Structure 1
């Protein structure tokens, strides 16, 4: 039988990522001690960031499994302790630096995170469903993904991602967001009691968004999706100010009345100098048992919005996809498991996965971004 050593155990622990921070616990200073008995039994002491860590059971399981796989290891016991204030300060400095005020990482010149502000003109077009399913689909492709539920008044992302009962953990001034389906998510719903309404005006909305972007430890994200409220009000303006490089993803239904309003939501890019990533048409049709399609909300709205926005910004704004109506899509939203994960063969899931593929391969550039240059000749 091989003889297990402390070095072997620490090597195994280096492969264990903290469930919240998503970095190796050895790098984060979370391994307090390792003791190996003569019979091969291993006792590991682990520091938690806070005593109320919601994922301590999961962390214990990960540590136990990793150590048990070490050749020669006998019984494994894990003891949990809590970091001191000094240790938490060092952890915060390690993760976020030592700046006096938190900064928004996505607004920095060197940020490589693609930020999509999912917007709509009207409510009820399925913007949140599109957001959570695209997030889950992109995460399934191996990308690091976050979702910010910026719809402060009408938040629904926690239910759709199954995080209704989860609360963020605070480490000093850092907020650790819950993770669902490999997607980091934050919402005002995680800071209110029950179904209490949020009654705020513009300045408070701006400050809340600023905190969600700067105080939350998002880590190194590939993609951040922002679920905006309908219209072109305070939140849309605040996002343009806080993250000028955010791209707008417009969601509409085929109905002409909805398409006209959605066009306004996209046209805000002319004033904010943002890029329009594309248009998604939701509720495009209903497949009937006889194989025919019923277009409940008409047809052509998504393409019409894409065409008019293309003309308005002077660059191609594509129609990224059309999502049919299915009962399974609605049920998945209520259950907290996105349809792209629970039933990827569903027609709506297939359309969403195709849209996610297009977003996953997009590269940075200036195409589609209004530069605010007046090309009219003045004599």
Structure 2
């Protein structure tokens, strides 16, 4: 019965279910990050991202009243609004954390210092007293309010275009692009020439070079950071974009050469031999035949190298620096986590900005990924 046409083995169903679970484990956090990046800080702290489209009732953080004192009908009055333009409706409120729901909206209470406080449903308050309140410390208000769904682009405006506020990542975004694009293109160019030579050109020591490339794949980059930085300083490169490009090139070349060499070695020999019979040089064969046929492998390595350099922090800190005009996205996000751990709307927008470009690169080139990875694995 297991071989009936149209039936699927249990292993196939297990693979499909596992793949669906892996996709869900990746998709739901990413979707939550995207939704949170368009929400306000109060909504993020008050409800989950899956509740973003529903009206929420929550206990608001304590809000200290503020406003200018004026004289009205023989009394000193301070008026204002808790929400500063936001649309929320207050149901209960209080003046201390022990009883935050002591009063209904529209009710009044007398503060310990003597003034009378009234709070309306829309957040409008009036603080009145028979004597001046200029020297009085303004009270805090605890309120339970219902808030409709609210989305804003202000988070991205703060993140991308307001570095003076200490929370922008616009410069870091440009720095990361400046590091990642050359650090992806340079090793591909060098590795493509080396891979062709190791795959199709006969010369003494070729097998030893292939073995050395394979051995370099398992060498931790941390072992080479300090010696390489000292070498850069000794030849006058120092810290800068040139240094970080060369470092990423050196660390990425073993995988690039290995991947491209395996792919090129699997190309049909007849094509290359016929080109040589027709008088084509090695350079002409490489540029006109090998490179076009090797595009899947080139794209596969480009994805890996770009993702690695885009998400890198260690190499950038060592070879580029940690100044505001040198910091990459990962370093800026780390600083935001350290100094602004409560500004979840800023963190979520910054994080989504940092993953948007890698996601776009991956989805645009993912069809070449498997083809490039499987190159040379079967004969």
Using the size of structure 1 for normalisation, the TM-score is 0.21
**Structure having greater relative contact order (Cα 8 Å, sep ≥ 6):** 2
Larger helix proportion, structure 1 or 2?
2
Largest Rg, 1 or 2: 2
Using the size of structure 2 for normalisation, the TM-score is 0.21
